[in-house]
Structure 1
Amino acid sequence: MLEIGMRKDWITLTVTTYRNIALLLLCLTAGIVDVIGYLSLGHVFTANMTGNIVLFGLAIGNSWHLAVLKSLTSLIGFIAGVIAAAVLVGNKKKSFWPPAVTAALVIEGAVLLLFALFSCFFAESISVYVLIMLLSFAMGMQTTAARKLGVAGISTTVLTGTLANFFEDLTARFYKSDKRKQFTRDAVLRALALVLYCFGAVIGAFAEPDYKFAVIWLPIIIILGIMLCAFTMFHGYSEEKNQ
């Protein structure tokens, strides 16, 4: 019985670790996508809506009409993605990895693939607003899907709250020693989310001069890998837990 219990604990730890890695990799994709939007689509954020709203207000204040339209397009696309994902995952029962989250990521991957094809084969003729809409819609879907998992409050694109939570956790570790263990895992995950988002931005910045839109294939590959884990590991694990 002890051996069986240890094996179940090991499986739980392993699957949970894979889920956390998948969530952190989505932060990496958001960093890459934001850099593509900012450097290649006319200085607009397609994942970080806090920054995009600031740019929107700045453009209005300075009468930059094209910049206003780009930021507004990104905001509308993101909202549309959030609404679409909310329809998929909003009313579903919470579980380790809801199948609806995988469905949302499938749609996100398809939208990013569409962006990759448009930017590769129709770069000269496709409207920049279409490309902005595609990226921001995908990030809206990803944000809501990630929030449904409820892991350390990470949404993969809204990092201001993640940053605040991390330093709140860090402060609590010094002043509330009785809660130290409670905060350790979440604090580490939040720190890694920030680091990987930044690392994604670094990758996008290095790739942009020579490859520009081609770097979008990295987020697509990451999402495909996450989907594979979801189909082979996460859904099965969820079913086992409910038995």
Structure 2
Amino acid sequence: MTSHLAEAGRTLVPREDDRYGLLSPALVILTFVAGLVDALSYLALGHVFVANVTGNIVFLGFAIAHAQGFVWWTSALTLVSFVAGALIGGRIIRRFGANRAQHLLASTLVQLAFVAAALIGIYVLNGLVPEPAMGGMSSDAAARAAQPSLNFPTGSQIDLHIILLIVLLAPAMGVQNSTARKLAVPDLPTTVLTMTLTGMVADASARGHEASKLGRRIVVMLALACGALTGAMLQMRGHEDVILMVMIACLLAVAALMLPHVHSDAVWVSGR
């Protein structure tokens, strides 16, 4: 148990000679961001994932089959927007891929721009849309209005807000996924953790608990779960803008970790 705790600690606070250095804590923060954004997207944007985007292929099948609660256009729009972000991520890799700190800093700043635009866009849309009149509403309508939402007064405005958030947040996560893939830090893909969980259990079964990398992998899974928990609690209270603010704070933290090292010749920066 002590060794697992030490491993967890080294993931969050790596040693100077660590092969992946500050990439590990930075990607743990981005894993928390993935949990936040998927809580927002699944609960408020029509059953889509903008970080764990593979699920949208399944959801698209559900929607085509007319399964209750699934709409085909939200899944399709998320997939297209995510791919656009991955294309941007590819261009960032071409420009900065030789230096890991510069690469992660550049991709994080691009993500930050998308999330900040989403936050500003929501405030602008909410300012343009008057608050709905409560008088004359049926009890069912009043109950629906009291539920957590993105403060959308009409169906047409719901579509507009959803479109805005999908086309800005899905590309941000496309950039993040392409970056994590290029950095290739073990057990830190930042979004899909199926193989991380599988590796933890299978390695322990095959080679003993010391080979499970339990400390490192638990940190990653807790980061995703805590992000989802935080996002869900804020969304259920109607604080979608706060979710975006927390995402911005996390992205700024990652940028702050990378900025002092963009000209470093450390092994974790050069990858050699």
TM over 0.5: yes
The percentage of aligned residue pairs carrying the same residue is 27
Structure 1 residue 136, shift from structure 2 partner: 0.8
User: Structure 1 58/102 Cα, relative in aligned 2: closer, same or farther at 3 Å?
Assistant: same
Match of 1:109 in 2: 112
C-alpha separation in 2, matches of 1:173 and 1:157: 26
Task: Tell whether 2:245 aligns with 1:217.
Answer: yes
Residue type at the aligned position of 1:216: L
Task: Tell whether 2:224 aligns with 1:190.
Answer: no
Structure 1 residue 155, shift from structure 2 partner: 1.7
Equivalences, count: 226
Structure 1 residue 34, shift from structure 2 partner: 0.4
Match of 2:175 in 1: 141
C-alpha separation in 2, matches of 1:146 and 1:240: 14
Asked whether the 8 Å contact 1:31–1:199 carries over to 2, the reply is yes
2:66 corresponds to which of 38, 51, 62: 62
Q: Which has the higher contact order (CA 8 A, sep 6+)?
A: 2
Structure 1 residue 94, shift from structure 2 partner: 4.8
User: Structure 1 11/159 Cα, relative in aligned 2: closer, same or farther at 3 Å?
Assistant: closer
Asked whether the 8 Å contact 1:207–1:215 carries over to 2, the reply is yes
Match of 2:194 in 1: 160
Task: Tell whether 2:46 aligns with 1:42.
Answer: yes
C-alpha separation in 2, matches of 1:170 and 1:184: 5
User: Which structure 1 segments of 5+ residues have no match?
Assistant: 1-8
Asked whether the 8 Å contact 2:36–2:227 carries over to 1, the reply is yes
For the residue of structure 2 that corresponds to 1:11, the secondary structure is coil
- Return the TM-score normalized by structure 2: 0.73
User: Structure 1 52/172 Cα, relative in aligned 2: closer, same or farther at 3 Å?
Assistant: same
User: Structure 1 122/24 Cα, relative in aligned 2: closer, same or farther at 3 Å?
Assistant: same
Q: Which residues of 2 match residues 1-243 of structure 1 at below 5 A?
A: 11-13=16-18, 16=21, 18-62=22-66, 67-90=71-94, 94=98, 97-123=100-126, 124=129, 126-174=160-208, 180=210, 183=211, 185=213, 187-210=214-237, 211-233=239-261, 235-236=263-264, 238=266
- Return the TM-score normalized by structure 1: 0.81
C-alpha separation in 1, matches of 2:69 and 2:226: 32
User: Structure 1 82/142 Cα, relative in aligned 2: closer, same or farther at 3 Å?
Assistant: same
Which is further off, 221-230 or 151-160?
151-160
For the residue of structure 2 that corresponds to 1:236, the secondary structure is coil
Q: Larger Cα Rg: Structure 1 or Structure 2?
A: 2
User: Structure 1 10/30 Cα, relative in aligned 2: closer, same or farther at 3 Å?
Assistant: closer
For the residue of structure 1 that corresponds to 2:189, the secondary structure is coil
User: Which structure 2 segments of 5+ residues have no match?
Assistant: 1-13, 130-156
Match of 1:6 in 2: none
Residue type at the aligned position of 2:225: C
Structure 1 residue 65, shift from structure 2 partner: 10
C-alpha separation in 2, matches of 1:202 and 1:65: 22
C-alpha separation in 2, matches of 1:53 and 1:110: 27
Structure 1 residue 10, shift from structure 2 partner: 5.1
Structure 1 residue 81, shift from structure 2 partner: 0.9
Asked whether the 8 Å contact 2:47–2:69 carries over to 1, the reply is no
Structure 1 residue 103, shift from structure 2 partner: 0.9
Residue type at the aligned position of 2:119: A
Structure 1 residue 74, shift from structure 2 partner: 0.6
For the residue of structure 2 that corresponds to 1:12, the secondary structure is coil
Asked whether the 8 Å contact 1:152–1:190 carries over to 2, the reply is no
